[in-house]
Structure 1
Amino acid sequence: MAMIVERSMSDGWLTNTYLVAAGPNTDAFLVDAGGPMAPLFAKAEEHGLNVTHVLLTHHHGDHVVDLGETLERYPDATVLAHPDERVPGTTGDLNPGDELEIGGLKVKALHTPGHTSGMLNLLVDDKELFTGDTLFKGSVGGVRAPGSTSFEDIKHSIMEVILTLPPETVIRPGHTDPTTVGDELEHNPFVRVWRGLDPEGSDQCTALGDPATLVLWGPDYDGGHKAWVRWPDGRDDIVPGSKVER
């Protein structure tokens, strides 16, 4: 029986919310609540699913904006998040390494700090990984948003946690398109430089108003760009392309 994974993507932020179940007529869970929720409510009915859990990858508004609407629909749902990522409506903690069993699926919480301190990736039946805003198809999460930690953290989360999973593992990011571990190892421009396959850039730029070296001008999930920059003191950073003057 194939796992059910239904996705709804918001128009403005391109945020993904997922409905996940082992198959029809079972318990199911939602990953995040960024909306629009109505298509997922309809899919849950269509598949005969009982939504028992909402699992939050992190606290940013574009991923939790419709949690209230979700709890109106499923008032008994358990809402779990990392202790650092709790938002109104959260009912309990999901700690790094915790494993849940929902409707016959095994869900393991992997701690992937960087974009936020308590970011969790959710590994489902060792086959599908919901990466929140850590890793995207062809891009990576920024480390400039509220609650973010560091470049070193997100690099470690991507290279040592996510991309050590089997290459056929499906990656379902918090924004836009799915990918796989193998595809990102091979094609993600940030990962290629981290792996030593491609050289670092050395052009000078202005990032967030300050001089910096542009190590990589990479794509972002929204069709724009993300920049890996190095400050004069040697620190690395990942900033929105819109904040860089080349």
Structure 2
Amino acid sequence: MLEVAMKTVGPMRENVYVVIQSNKEVLIFDPGAEADQLIKWIDGNAWKPTAILQTHCHFDHIGGLDQLREYYKIPVYVHALESDFLEDPTLNLSSMTMEPISQRKPEHIWETMGEVSLGNFKFKVRHTPGHSPGHVIYLFDDDEFAISGDLVFAGSVGRTDLPNANHQQLMESIHHEIMTLPEEFMLYPGHGNPTLLAEELHSNPYFPNHE
């Protein structure tokens, strides 16, 4: 059984997730900031990182990326539509802040969606545009959870008032890729608290059945 650990970092209070195998191998999701603290956290738990997976490449999700991949010598995976975002402060929106961010190109591109085997991990990658064009979620069916990025939050959904965002796409992504999951699924969002899908289906005012 997999475990999920979370650490909240940076001024945007972004959630970094580590998905942990019983042998201490881990996948890192969205290392947004405070790379030194993330390294202390990971090394302090004797975890063994194998890859960094991005839900999307906005600045608050990539600030610690290069430092972690260089320290652990591991590859980065992003969706093809955001393959240029890491390097480009305009695309990753850091040009809108006081600290433009430019990271190296990803080693791997998600070009096709579906089931993936990465080391000892098995999961599904689903394209969920709306908040950003190449946003993806990662589904771990056997353990009934999703790393859902900025698609859905507890009681809310991702922003679509940003460049390259689209509200209709976001709602379609939620309808097709979130609402079709078993209600027992735990959603691990990019900001705020993890939430059970059943709770969001019942009370999230932004979900299609509440519109």
Deviation for aligned residue 1:98: 3.8
* Structure 1 equivalent of residue 196 of structure 2: 180
Deviation for aligned residue 1:7: 1.0
The verdict on how the C-alpha distance between 1:8 and 1:38 changes in structure 2, with shifts beyond 3 A counting, is farther
Q: 1:100 aligns with which of 116, 131, 136?
A: 116
Paired residues for 1:81-230 under 5 Å: 81-86=78-83, 87=86, 88-126=104-142, 127-148=144-165, 150-191=166-207, 194-196=208-210
* Structure 2 equivalent of residue 10 of structure 1: 9
Instruction: Output one character per residue of 1:102-146: Cα deviation in whole Å (capped at 9) or x when no partner.
Output: 453312111101011110001124411111111111000111213
Tell me which of the two structures has the higher relative contact order, counting C-alpha pairs closer than 8 angstroms and 6 or more residues apart: 2
Deviation for aligned residue 1:46: 4.2
In structure 2, what is the Cα distance between the partners aligned to 1:82 and 1:48? 29
Residue 132 of structure 2 aligns with an amino acid whose one-letter code is T
In structure 2, what is the Cα distance between the partners aligned to 1:47 and 1:125? 25
The verdict on how the C-alpha distance between 1:21 and 1:102 changes in structure 2, with shifts beyond 3 A counting, is farther
In structure 2, what is the Cα distance between the partners aligned to 1:23 and 1:113? 32
Instruction: Output one character per residue of 1:43-83: Cα deviation in whole Å (capped at 9) or x when no partner.
Output: 433443221110011110000011121123212x1111001
Aligned to 2:206, the other structure's residue is in SS state helix
CA contact (8 A) 1:33 1:63 kept: yes
Give structure 2 stretches of 5+ with no counterpart. Answer: 87-103
The two structures have a TM-score, normalised by structure 2, of 0.83
Comparing 15-24 with 92-101, which one deviates more in the overlay? 92-101
Query: Of the two, which has the highest radius of gyration?
Result: 1
In structure 1, what is the Cα distance between the partners aligned to 2:112 and 2:149? 15
Identity value in percent: 30
Q: 1:51 aligns with which of 49, 54, 70?
A: 49
CA contact (8 A) 2:14 2:32 kept: yes
Q: 2:60 aligns with which of 59, 62, 75?
A: 62
Deviation for aligned residue 1:167: 0.3
Count residues in correspondence.
191
Residue 166 of structure 1 aligns with an amino acid whose one-letter code is P
CA contact (8 A) 2:10 2:32 kept: no
Instruction: Output one character per residue of 1:191-213: Cα deviation in whole Å (capped at 9) or x when no partner.
Output: 2xx215xxx6xxxxxxxxxxxxx
* Structure 1 equivalent of residue 77 of structure 2: 80
Residue 154 of structure 2 aligns with an amino acid whose one-letter code is K
Larger strand percent? 1
Residue 161 of structure 1 aligns with an amino acid whose one-letter code is E
The two structures have a TM-score, normalised by structure 1, of 0.72
* Structure 2 equivalent of residue 233 of structure 1: none
